[in-house]
Structure 1
Amino acid sequence: MRAPGAPALPGGISVRLGRHTRVIDDGAVLVGGSPIRIVALTPRARSHLDGDLVTVTDAASRALADHFLDAGIAEPVIESLPEVSTALATVVVPVRDRATQLARLLDSLGGLRVIVVDDASVDPQPVASVAARHGAELVVLDENTGPAGARNAGLARVTTPFVVFVDSDVVVEAGVVPLLLRHFADPRLAMVAPRVLGLDSPGANWITRYEEARSSLDVGHEAAIVRPRSRVTWLPAACLAARVEALGRGFDATMRVAEDVDLVWRLVESRHRVRYAPEAVVRHDHRATLRAWLGRKLFYGTGAGLLAVRHPRNIAPAVLPPWAAGVLLALMAQRRWSLPVAAGLLVVTAWRIGRRAPSVRHPHRLAARLTSYGFVNAIAQGFALLLRHWWPLTAIGCLVSRRVRRAAAVAVVADTTWELMRTRPRLDPVRFALARRLDDAAYGAGVWASAIRGRSLRTLLPDVRSRR
């Protein structure tokens, strides 16, 4: 909920219930959000819900729309958001020896104010020439500070209310910046990011085709509020639009990986809103060689240790309520009692959820549905633990245990099949399955390396806790 005295949503904007929000009991109850929740609406609140829309017209509708946005139950209707002049934004581009990519990016940013930060290029002249040719302000750093430090150096020169950080190997599609700026009609919004897809490449190979479907920078096709333990937990710094006054000290310049995740989580901890807006799209150069691709995945994994120090409550590889952890352990045991015990835990959980939803007309029917969602989510997290975060232990276990081999085989087949159906890659199933396992292995190796370096298992331990 909005704190007393906090900026309010302006009149005239509308929010629409999300695709995963269910309306039950003739509109008296909503089920959705991230994490999922049950929301009972008063008759007055229901009067402001027109189908799946709430339009801000008075204090009551404003409070309802604000609550829906905060809970992740609804998304802003882009057409209802006022336009914001691009003169109110400055683009900051960190670069190091990528003059050709920089020129391509600046070509796509025609008409916008741009600050290029040369992060101690080995050959700075080509970068300076490209910046001058495109009329961009150039900031030259004497020492290489990494992307976070370079972005901060550019941020220090920004005099506009909004800043757009764009990496030099990105191409911004037409209309993206104006669209992102419209989201700042929400006064609590601190940051918004577009969807990051791959650049079309005539020389595509099996690695780039896998990345087209399953890039680490692509967080999906559905709009979402961004925060830890939700459906979308972070945003890549390839392209980020932000409200300057909300950024404070900006990125953590001591981090050369996961600095984008850290910034997002700090903004959320400060009670700001962060959004993912996939209706806006930018294009990114995917790595096309096996060595470079695996190296980048491993590098991303090493960020887990840095985040564990700064955000210890948010870095767990899996978040499970006790009943879900119990179901996973029972199924992993693969004993005669495994299925009855798992089924019993599911029945008890559904019964308990039903008791907590007295405002729902058919609470146990809804509880059964929510329990099934939780069960599927728990299985998916269990597969991720086996194949991604704990794969070294899984590999050792496969050498000595038939049960571990069976569990790993089921996880591989189920995970690959689901991802093939979900992403529809331009790649045959065999090479997709191979790329999927290499992706998980490289990232998981980075997580283990960070855990060993930091002498802490926090990045590898699931979070099992009761929650309402």
Structure 2
Amino acid sequence: MGHLRVGVAVLTMGNRPDELRELLRSVAEQSVPAARIVVVGNGAPLPPLPDGVTGIELDDNLGVSGGRNVALRELQEAGDVDLVVDLDDDGLLVSTDVFERLSEMYREDPGLGIVSFRIADERGRTQRRHVPRLRAGDPERGGLVTTFLGGGHALSVPMLKQTGGWPDEFFYAHEETDLAWRALDAGWRIRYAPELVLQHPWTAPTRHAVYHRMVARNRVWLAKRHLPALLVPAYLGVWAGLTVARSRSLTGMRAWAGGFVEGVRTPCGERRPMRWRTVWWMTRLGRPPVI
């Protein structure tokens, strides 16, 4: 049997041309070549791209969700890809067999919906926040999880046809969790595969007012969209308590509170609460949807 066909999607703001060029070089060196590669300039012009790479320049910044959906539609409309691989524009595939391994994983498990890569810097270090589980002490321990990393992952096209793509309304923050919860509720599995490495510079998360507002607003939207009514106050209460305990900035807390209120007051798309069977499955995997 042949390998599954891989479509690659890269979102860029046009400010990392050298890193983007190196990323595309690492994609081109894969032992199983990508069937299609799409680079989206999210409200920014694109640098020159290699032959065979489709470039799409957007007039406006549509955020992570909106920009990825543009790439996703381009790949799906072509009709010749089985997997979509999203990669950060400043990442690097350090191994040439990533697509080959992905193809084997999905062939061995037809119910596999999402594969999350391990993100590591040039020294092999993985930040705790880049491990998609609560117990993050060993970043090289793989297995089934309840969410995934936005910087490097693979999505099953059959899964996307069932669940839909990224939540445009979110712009950025928690868009991976929204898609993950929909996938789990539809019966798909999510696997963290630390052997698939995306090399990425060691960075600290940006902590500005817009960040705090988006994080709070989208956290409320997640609950409103996907949680059974009984779990909504528990989920939001836990995260409000954690935010207060961790906060070191009065300005950040004010922005967070404003985002929380915005999330409560504003629409967030259709509400489809997950089944209690999904809640139980997530609990068995070590992360019940209250934290």
Q: Give the TM-score normalised by structure 2.
A: 0.70
Name the structure 2 match of 1:216. 129
1:311 paired with 2:226, answer yes
Name the structure 1 match of 2:83. 162
Q: 2:150 aligns with which of 215, 237, 241?
A: 237
Alpha-carbon contact 2:39-2:71 (below 8 Å) kept: yes
Change (3 A) 1:215 1:200: same
CA shift for structure 1 position 390: 3.8
CA distance in 2, matches of 1:275, 1:164: 14
Residue type of the alignment partner of 1:259: E
The higher radius of gyration belongs to 1
Name the structure 1 match of 2:179. 263
Structure 1: gaps (5+ residues): 1-81, 202-211, 227-232, 320-380, 392-436, 457-464
Name the structure 2 match of 1:405. none
CA shift for structure 1 position 188: 1.0
Structure 2: gaps (5+ residues): 133-138, 266-278, 285-291
Aligned pairs (5 A) from 1:372-451: 388-391=242-245, 448-451=257-260
Name the structure 2 match of 1:182. 104
Secondary structure of the equivalent of 1:237?
A: coil
Higher relative contact order (CA 8 A, sep 6+): 2
Deviations 1:144-182 (A, max 9, x none): 211212222112222211111112122222122322222
Residue type of the alignment partner of 2:142: A
1:117 paired with 2:40, answer yes
Name the structure 2 match of 1:283. 199
Change (3 A) 1:105 1:301: farther
Secondary structure of the equivalent of 1:293?
A: coil
Deviations 1:407-442 (A, max 9, x none): xxxxxxxxxxxxxxxxxxxxxxxxxxxxxx568999
Tell me the C-alpha RMSD between the 2 structures.
Answer: 3.6
Deviations 1:75-96 (A, max 9, x none): xxxxxxx9x636x111111111
Alpha-carbon contact 1:117-1:154 (below 8 Å) kept: yes
Name the structure 2 match of 1:293. 206
Residue type of the alignment partner of 1:281: V
CA shift for structure 1 position 244: 0.9
Deviations 1:172-196 (A, max 9, x none): 2212232222210211111111112
Alpha-carbon contact 2:217-2:263 (below 8 Å) kept: no
Name the structure 2 match of 1:141. 58
Change (3 A) 1:440 1:285: farther
Alpha-carbon contact 1:92-1:164 (below 8 Å) kept: yes
CA distance in 2, matches of 1:213, 1:168: 18
Alpha-carbon contact 1:93-1:116 (below 8 Å) kept: yes
Deviations 1:347-366 (A, max 9, x none): xxxxxxxxxxxxxxxxxxxx
Q: 2:262 aligns with which of 428, 448, 453?
A: 453
Residue type of the alignment partner of 2:223: A
Alpha-carbon contact 2:9-2:71 (below 8 Å) kept: yes
Name the structure 1 match of 2:19. 101
Alpha-carbon contact 1:189-1:273 (below 8 Å) kept: yes
Residue type of the alignment partner of 1:285: P
1:272 paired with 2:162, answer no
CA distance in 1, matches of 2:196, 2:106: 14
Alpha-carbon contact 1:108-1:172 (below 8 Å) kept: yes
CA shift for structure 1 position 134: 5.4
CA shift for structure 1 position 255: 1.3
Change (3 A) 1:104 1:315: farther
Q: Give the TM-score normalised by structure 1.
A: 0.45
